[in-house]
Chains A and B, each alone.
Chain A
Amino acid sequence: MTRTDSAAAPEADAPRSGQKQYVTFMVGDRTYGVDIVSVREIKQWTPATMLPNQPAYTRGVLNLRGTIVPVHDLRARFGGPLTEATDTHVVVIVWIGQQTIGILVDAVSDIITVSPDDVRPVPAGVGGADEKAISGLVNTEAGLVSLLDLEGLFAANSENAA
């Protein structure tokens, strides 16, 4: 991982070829990253409308300027308790394929630029059943960042009954 090294350039400057940018955010003391291309916007948490018999980690649906967007709790998705969400929590709105969903996290921390060489594979057997949820690991000055595979994480949810 190369935190964009030039002193003149802020961390969010344009990546060089082959490099990718990730938005990172915190859940407890863990840091996760998603490809910046998938991120549509970041919203302050507002109470969501619950859905009948929703998955345990789903918080309900939000109104995102007229579209109905489901919000999933990342902490609960990784087996933790439901987040006690407040005004300071944020929802990262991302695209997964054709769908838009929200991910409830504690806080957004940074934008990092990563070369493909810096991405380490997740060792087999780590992550348990959620092996597919993390696409790779990146070691940064600020600590280890787990790169999320959004499809692997939430795709099971998005399939339509039809």
Chain B
Amino acid sequence: MSLVLAVDDTRALRNMLVDCLRSGGHDVIEASDGVEALEQLRAHKPDIVITDLNMPRMNGLDFIEAARREPEGRGLPMLLLTTETAQELKDRARQVKATGWIAKPFDPDQILSLVARLA
């Protein structure tokens, strides 16, 4: 099973995500924004990251961009969890080398199957 870093500033949504991942047998570490997520990334070297897009301090895209510059973030699957669908966002996601994105509200089975494929 994998170590998943779950990043979301909305506690309720993060809890849902974490519980979903745990129910799939994964270990989960949490962060409530990009800055914290970077710290967690360096400290725990997760197998996969699932991050919210809009967060205070550092948003999901900036986080992924920054994470890719870290040794722990190279080649790491990092998924964006978002309700936004604008093409711009998708382009930007590609630019920062996000692995992919998941539409909110997410389907727990989908999350678990994605984690299985990517991590």
A/B: CB atoms within 8 Å of each other: no
Which positions in B face A, CB cutoff 8 Å? none
Which positions in A face B, CB cutoff 8 Å? none
